[in-house]
Structure 1
């Protein structure tokens, strides 16, 4: 929630004049303190969680404490990723960081980064984001918001109770997915997918509603998933994004200097997180090994081929919903990848 605080009136200024200036909104922006609450579901010890803290610190420093952002991790404000688009649009939250695919019900373009096996590595994931960024900005603008920065996740794999090597290992598996792409893909493979918000994963594992979790090594580390699913199957399934967006009206109330500070901090956060993700996986694996997690790599080609085939309906569904815009993004991406 945005709060603006008026400091004490200068010496010689009457109380009436101060109240009048406040009512008319004529006080200079430098005399105001802006306090924003930022909601996100990821934990503070995750890559995007740490990045959000650094972003808030950069904003406070660049504005000399005039813009203060308090980051609330783990869904502490009561909002899920899927709630953020409307909450920020309606001004209930001034800004939020969200798993992009959670917005797919209203803006399907945000499912792009989690289309299985489209981006095959971090370089391609960044290229895909760069190609799609104008479309993301347009979608957010339709919802009264401004894109501040993206934060990538390490590649998605499957946390399970055993290594997954064949399609038969997926049959009937109660697996958590994070968006409709995963739900379509794993249903086609005979699994029993359940779309579950990140902050609800551990409770669902605890009750037995889930037996496996589609997420990154980073997500699993932050939730200590080895306590339920001691095997991480590294599949390179997708490189989903978190998107940090601010309410356009709230942003518009900042002074030009404050706006620049927020945007510069967003650019720095994006560059920092995209750099950090390249070494984050090794750090994750060190923690996983310390906690006796079995890391399974080099999935059999036949298994990966089956996953790739099962994803085709998800890609078709995305293209049907995004139409020419989606096709243009994928065509441009494919052309740029081919030229790398």
Structure 2
């Protein structure tokens, strides 16, 4: 009797932890980011958790560093066509598809991690609608630490930005930095280090985590935190692939996604100070806060871009911003 109960209990383990059976669904997930970035670490967490929740029926292989040959700009259509079952894409890359994807990178709108969470919660249905138009399911999203400037010198004023060849991650950043006198270039993430190495660019707008993961201290000397924005990164999958799953596995996918969002948020919140220390250990200077007068100049330069975004996004922008202001 006891032996029979023990055998039965062991047989149930794979339904909870998923290590004892061969996967029924094997997916390749594309990302441009390296293995040490928070984006890829979150992808790994999601894949591992989904394997557990699915009882080993779903297994995802994470292909970091654009190793499958797809850049972020390719992801939406590659997933729509079924060339990729699932992908990781930073929001601003999708701005040409719909301006709603510029929301999370609007400069100086989200002041802290609580703000960026509110914006994500409010805007999620709008993001989902666009992904559905392209036959895709939005699984989860997460934000990065606030964007600052990696450069050879501290950025104290507009004068320090003049003619600075700086990488941006979307059209909004390009416009704002251009208005401030810089020479911005929107560059795909996997191309940033090569362009830094050759001197094609001399500065990068991004968070401390991403730059640390790519060893930006080999090319820059100062990180100036300007709290520009905390853009979202989406994980989205082919709708046919999602719909082919039985209901219990669809539930597992979405639960793993929700847990990945929360895991990432906690990592970002607790790791920022540690990342500053890491930069300093590599000989970098970290400027954690800019002068209020300069911060005002930055914010003022962003206002025309924000108003233009509202005009292009229409009633959706008004709905989102009204709800955001009310919370």
| Same fold (TM > 0.5) | yes
Give the CA deviation at 1:241.
0.9
User: Is 1:177–1:213's contact at 8 Å kept on the other side of the alignment?
Assistant: yes
Which residue matches 2:100? 109
User: When the two structures are superposed, what TM-score results if normalisation uses the length of structure 1?
Assistant: 0.88
| 1:200-235 residue CA offsets vs partner (Å, 9 max, x unmatched) | 100111111101100000011011101111110011
Once residues 250 and 160 of structure 1 are traced to their aligned partners in structure 2, the CA distance between those partners, rounded to angstroms, is 43
User: Is 1:154–1:280's contact at 8 Å kept on the other side of the alignment?
Assistant: no
Q: What is the total number of aligned residue pairs between the two structures?
A: 307
Superposition RMSD on alpha carbons, in Å? 1.3
| 1:116-148 residue CA offsets vs partner (Å, 9 max, x unmatched) | 000000111111111111111111111111111
Once residues 255 and 278 of structure 1 are traced to their aligned partners in structure 2, the CA distance between those partners, rounded to angstroms, is 35
Moved segments of 4+, more than 2 Å: none
Once residues 276 and 252 of structure 2 are traced to their aligned partners in structure 1, the CA distance between those partners, rounded to angstroms, is 35
| 1:167-186 superposed matches below 5 A | 167-186=158-177
Which residue matches 1:159? 150
| 1:279-299 residue CA offsets vs partner (Å, 9 max, x unmatched) | 121221121111111101221
Once residues 217 and 103 of structure 1 are traced to their aligned partners in structure 2, the CA distance between those partners, rounded to angstroms, is 23
Say whether residues 1:80 and 2:74 are aligned partners.
no
Which residue matches 2:204? 213
| 1:231-310 superposed matches below 5 A | 231-310=222-301
* Partner residue of 1:70 out of 61, 84, 95: 61
Instruction: Give the match's secondary structure for 1:79.
Output: coil
Which residue matches 1:323? 314
Instruction: Give the match's secondary structure for 1:120.
Output: coil
Instruction: Give the match's secondary structure for 1:261.
Output: helix
Which residue matches 2:130? 139
Give the CA deviation at 1:32.
6.9
Once residues 270 and 58 of structure 1 are traced to their aligned partners in structure 2, the CA distance between those partners, rounded to angstroms, is 12
Which residue matches 1:37? 28
Give the CA deviation at 1:62.
1.7
User: Is 2:148–2:228's contact at 8 Å kept on the other side of the alignment?
Assistant: yes
User: When the two structures are superposed, what TM-score results if normalisation uses the length of structure 2?
Assistant: 0.91
Once residues 282 and 44 of structure 1 are traced to their aligned partners in structure 2, the CA distance between those partners, rounded to angstroms, is 21
Once residues 247 and 169 of structure 2 are traced to their aligned partners in structure 1, the CA distance between those partners, rounded to angstroms, is 37
User: Is 1:47–1:280's contact at 8 Å kept on the other side of the alignment?
Assistant: no
User: Is 1:184–1:313's contact at 8 Å kept on the other side of the alignment?
Assistant: no
Which residue matches 2:37? 46
Give the CA deviation at 1:44.
1.5
Once residues 156 and 35 of structure 1 are traced to their aligned partners in structure 2, the CA distance between those partners, rounded to angstroms, is 35
Which residue matches 2:185? 194
Once residues 118 and 255 of structure 1 are traced to their aligned partners in structure 2, the CA distance between those partners, rounded to angstroms, is 40
Once residues 157 and 81 of structure 1 are traced to their aligned partners in structure 2, the CA distance between those partners, rounded to angstroms, is 21
Consecutive unaligned residues in structure 2, runs of 5 or more? 1-20
Instruction: Give the match's secondary structure for 2:59.
Output: strand
Consecutive unaligned residues in structure 1, runs of 5 or more? 1-29
